[in-house]
Amino acid sequence: MTTTTTPSPILPGATIGFLGGGQLGRMTAFAARSMGYDIHVLDPEAACATRPIASRTITAPFNDVNAAIELASQCDVVTLEIEQIHPSVLDAVAARTALRPGRDPVYIIQDRIRQKQWLKSHGFPLGRFVAAQQASDIADMVRECGASIAKSTHGGYDGRGQVRLSDPEQAMDAWTALGSRECLVEQKVSIHYELSVLVARSPSGATAVYPPSRNHHTSGVLTWAVVPAVISDEMAQRAQTLARTVAERIGIVGLLAVECFVTTDGELLVNELAPRPHNTYHHSERGVATSQFEQLVRAICDLPLGATDVFAPSAIANLLGDVWLQDSAPDVTHALNVTGSRLHLYGKAGARAGRKMGHLSAVGDSAQDALGRVLESYRRLSPGTISSFDVHEPVLAHITS
């Protein structure tokens, strides 16, 4: 952890505004409330997840400048829990109160092509990609590089807005599926495992870097994450140094999650950036000295950043709406009989397939133990969805490089 200037903190009793009222806002708002801050939120959904914790909720779309001005006028600092905020809204907020993260990092990150080009221009390691202006660009990429993934430039989280291609003949269908507009096309890389690193950075220049999280996805959606990552010390150091450098160069104030691939050849590649709390660090509430949610409050308020030491191996497993769409209701009692497990629900009213409704967490004596506990809790909660929930591979014990 490094500090470059004297902090000028926004102290408890002040009001924090949130652009976005989903589960990330909800969990950060809980942390802020426990520290003595008031909460206001702007979100398109009147019944957003953060509403029960906020003293004021403005229901408006993320491109409503007047609503953003209304939010900013009553807040000492404004942050975000989703990056897809219209630039005019970011400008309107920044003109009236502290906006953290700032407009420029969010503008870079919220467009996938802009983000990749920025990373490339600063020399960060990436897989091969191209900005496709037409279907033939997609076909050329697949013809030259083989299996590829076409992605929408905005949104498209959790595997949505993506098309996998193995043949140039699929290009036109992919182009149409993504709205017949500019898209990002990435060469598919041979992935050994996935990890992420979370970096906190305050306005005064202090930084705190979390240990890497080892992550596993099914159909593009995070299924589980665990810390410690069970990787070599050398790879952990490389990943943390990479993430810290990205955060410093992009000028983030708040949190930056750097998602990475480690290839079968041992390369460390940046996949995507997120300027907010991240699904892969929900376990920080259980096993890290400072949760990512408290850390965001500390960072945007220019308070001393908290320690990021892992004091207990911890893991999470996502709960999608599919769990509630089975013939039998989730068995919460049976699931919570697993020692060390907890249930975290996001207060969302309607379950639908693929929608993140909550997560399970667990602590254990080792990373493998914590992961085993949380997956056992999941099995007990919803045995009907286990066939689509890849819980057996890869085994953590063999990943040491």
157 is in an annotated binding site: yes
The backbone torsions φ and ψ at residue 18, rounded to the nearest 5 degrees and listed phi first, read -120, 125
70 is in an annotated binding site: no
151 is in an annotated binding site: yes
117 is in an annotated binding site: no
356 is in an annotated binding site: no
Give CA–CA dist 13/38, Å, rounded: 7
251 is in an annotated binding site: no
Give CA–CA dist 77/96, Å, rounded: 10
188 is in an annotated binding site: yes
186 is in an annotated binding site: yes
162 is in an annotated binding site: yes
Do the Cβ atoms of 4 and 66 come closer than 8 Å?
no
189 is in an annotated binding site: yes
25 is in an annotated binding site: no
Neighbours of 165 (CB within 10 A): 21
Q: Are strands 191-201 and 162-165 parallel, antiparallel or unpaired?
A: unpaired
Annotated binding-site positions for ATP? 112, 151, 156-162, 186-189, 194, 217, 271-272
Binding residues: 112, 151, 156-162, 186-189, 194, 217, 271-272
